[in-house]
Chain A
Amino acid sequence: MIPARTARTARLAAEAKATRKRPKRIADRAHTWDPATAGVVLARLGPRPPLGYFSPTEEAAARPLLAHLLATWHDEADIPVLSFIDERLASGEGDGWRHAGLPEDGPAWRRSLAALDADASLRHGRTFAELGHGEQHRLLRHIQDLGSHDWYGMPAARVWSLWTRYACAAYYSHPHSWDETGYGGPAYPQGYLRLGRGTREPWEAPR
């Protein structure tokens, strides 16, 4: 038997927990982060500089490519993936390695976008951006299915991994994507207190 008072306390605690305000977005918790982290993360929500690496032609191919890879047709404006990738390539900040036979990441992006347009015009007589949604999707599926086979002088799988690596790093660095995945975000100096299967912090929404 649970004594009445304990039961009442437990009920009140549960109610208090349920009504405690959950922030709508992880970014709203920025005041609990250390200044260095908050600075870096919140900058991603700020205004974006104009593109500095991709040419207009490359940009035209890259936009629908990224929209397909990340399924962002409806919420594209939300996370400026292309701008993040452009900034990274413009800064020349590499990953510290490249495959033998492939150029550095920046030139590899350029080559692969040109190849995307070349492949589209070979099949349909139009650029990749001008293709219909279904045509674009099928072309990408085809490239993915090539695996380690050659695609315009590059192993298709390496191109695919370059695209998805950059696309995911950009998309999942944005705090709005954390609202989508349920990731709790930075936690210093606060730390996480509720560890273990089936537990969550009061401000974490159940999933």
Chain B
Amino acid sequence: MTPSHPALGTLRETLRPYGDVRRRNASAWLPPVGRLRRNMRRYDDTDEVDMVVIGCGAGGATLTQRLAHAGWHVVCLEAGPFWDPDTDWVSDEAGSHHLYWNEPRVVGGDHPVPLGANNSGRGVGGSMVHFAGYTPRLHPSDFHTKSLDGVGADWPITYDDLKPYYTRIERELPVAGQYWPWGDPHPHPHGPHPVGGNGQVMLDGCAALGIEARVGPVAITSGRFGNRPHCVYRGFCLQGCKVDAKASPLITHVPDAITHGAEIRDGSMATYIETEGGRRATGVHYVRGGRPRFQRARAVAVAGYSIETPRLLLNSAIANDHDQVGRYVMVQGAPQTAGRFADEIRMYKAPPPEVSTEAFYETDPGRPYQRGFAVQTVSPLPITWAEHVTAQGHWGTDLRERMRDYVHWAVLGSLCEFLPQPDNRVTLSPDESDRNGMPVARFDHSRCANDDQLMAASQQVMEDILRAAGATELMTIERYAHLVGGCRMAATPHDGVVDADLRVFGYDNLFITDGSVLPTQGSANPALTIMALADRAADRLTRGEVPRP
């Protein structure tokens, strides 16, 4: 579909029957996952299953579903619990602490990155259980920033290699939003949601300045999808969607995986990957209920995300011949700018992800920096908003007074494409272990000059948008969002840890299928890309394009 026919493209996409989606992944049409789980197949530790997947998040759950669907015997080890959204999740900020990865980790470097609630989930569904829900694609340029702009890295695949998988996953989540004019222009399977006060502020401000902005793209049903209902605009997307309107693998891929015989083994923390002869993985040591266990397997896929995946490989002392494991971990610079309005905005209503612009995404030769940033609505709830206010130095009466004004503020956040750097890395802490005796991960992070320039430029744009929408006062804080990299995909083992099929260099049967394989990150939120990469790897494996281990 060419960009000149957005209406036709949208029409086609929204009118197409669901048959192929349902045949590929029937999750949305199946009974509730809690019920499916009661009849879930169980394997013995001594069964040599076709694949053990470590981590049931965006990448791990997608891979598990695809392989099980193709008839493979799969066990997915997940460190956290198998959630029951009805009883385990609440519409409350402080009461949602258990959704995050809260085990000890150490952060360092010149610009240390807070972890936990900010970027790391735990449990079946992974970080997507409490992700905001934005699901943009990367741009075609993201796959060769080194050749194009002289920064970052070139991927061993192109956008066109991933495009069919983007489309498939978008239909399975499904993604709602307006026709997307940036990158490779494309329609979305569900129509855009109505916007709340914060979204309206962003649309108003952008319109006044002539900046293109669009509603979406979010992995939130707009209308019914199978058995999943429409969003009720309760605004707790970051606390887990009790409604089942927002996508997470727990409802988008796990149900179909279970009906095809996969076992999702919760409470199972992988600690060591067993290998033989330095070429083959033979199984995974893990701890369940305090007891050490070992699952035999013909192949192993690691999907614990950018901190835990490098940690597990480093602890297993594998895949690191070229000192690449744990390097090039990236976060996006995510400054947040708030504006005060005379109107009541009440940003806690509606999903926090509402409106985005990618008008500043690509390298602009007229600017002193390379690459760019996206701007999106964020809408913090009171506790997170209090962090924003205290970060300005307010406390005491000053803090309370500003907090009293909560309903009058709107908040935008940007995502700046920070560049991959070898020393932004995960290492094992030499003198500290967790309760399983596994060394704690340490993540060091420092910014480069280009990163600083992007932060400043995006803040300027957010301030302009808010002012144009009528803001009378502004407050900005520095933040970081998302994690990717740490075991990047590359053309050769000297430059990365996995090849274009996500197979670890030098191994026949060891894969990494999560966010840690991204060589660069663009200014797009990463979950859709992670799922599409896992889908592609699974597709190539199940079709035999990569030899079956």
Contact = CB atoms under 8 A, between A and B. Distances in A.
Interface of A: 33-34, 36-37, 40-41, 68-71, 93-101, 104, 137, 140, 144, 161, 164-165, 168-173, 177-178, 180-200, 204, 206-207
Given A182-B407, A183-B382, A188-B243, 4 more contacts: A41-B92, A104-B104, A172-B386, A197-B197
Contact of A95 (B95, B116, B194, B200): B116
Given A96-B116, A168-B387, A169-B383, A196 B90 contact: no
22 contacts: A36-B90, A41-B92, A68-B395, A68-B396, A69-B395, A94-B116, A97-B114, A98-B106, A137-B396, A169-B94, A172-B382, A172-B386, A177-B403, A181-B406, A186-B91, A188-B91, A192-B234, A192-B235, A192-B350, A195-B197, A197-B201, A206-B344
Nearest to B393: A144
A174 to B, nearest CB: 9
B462 to A, nearest CB: 18
Contacts of A196: 195-197, 200
Nearest to A205: B407
B407 A181 contact: yes
A184 B348 contact: yes
B322 interface: no
Interface of chain A, main secondary structure: loop
B41 interface: no
A95 B117 contact: yes
B377 interface: no
A184 B346 contact: yes
Contacts of B406: 181-183
Given A36-B87, A182-B407, A197-B200, A71 B397 contact: yes
Interface of B: 86-95, 97, 100-108, 112, 114-117, 120, 194-197, 200-201, 232-236, 242-243, 341, 343-346, 348-350, 381-383, 385-387, 390-391, 393, 395-397, 399-400, 403-408, 442
Those 4 A-B pairs whose CB atoms lie nearest each other, nearest first: A96-B116, A191-B232, A173-B94, A186-B91
Most buried by A among B92, B104, B345, B350: B92
Nearest to A169: B383
B341 A197 contact: yes
Interface of chain B, main secondary structure: loop
Nearest to A164: B390
Contact of A34 (B91, B100, B407): B91
Contacts of B386: 168-169, 171-172
Contacts of A188: 91, 232, 234, 236, 242-243
Contact of A189 (B200, B232, B235, B341): B232
Contacts of B442: 100
B105 A96 contact: yes
A191 B91 contact: no
Nearest to B97: A93
A177 B107 contact: no
B395 A144 contact: yes
Contacts of B94: 169-170, 173
Most buried by B among A95, A184, A185: A95
Contacts of A137: 396
A161 B479 CA distance: 14
Contact of A168 (B104, B344, B383): B383
A206 B383 CA distance: 21
Contacts of B114: 95, 97
Contacts of A192: 196, 232-235, 349-350
Given A96-B100, A97-B105, A169-B383, A186 B90 contact: yes
Contact of A37 (B91, B107, B196, B197): B91
A181 B404 contact: yes
A71 to B, nearest CB: 4
A154 to B, nearest CB: 14
A36 B408 CA distance: 30
Contacts of B234: 186-188, 190-192
Contacts of B243: 188-189
A115 B178 CA distance: 55
Given A41-B92, A96-B100, A184 B197 contact: no
A178 B197 contact: no
Given A36-B86, A195-B195, A96 B103 contact: yes
B344 A207 contact: yes
Nearest to B108: A100
A199 B139 CA distance: 37
A96 B95 contact: no
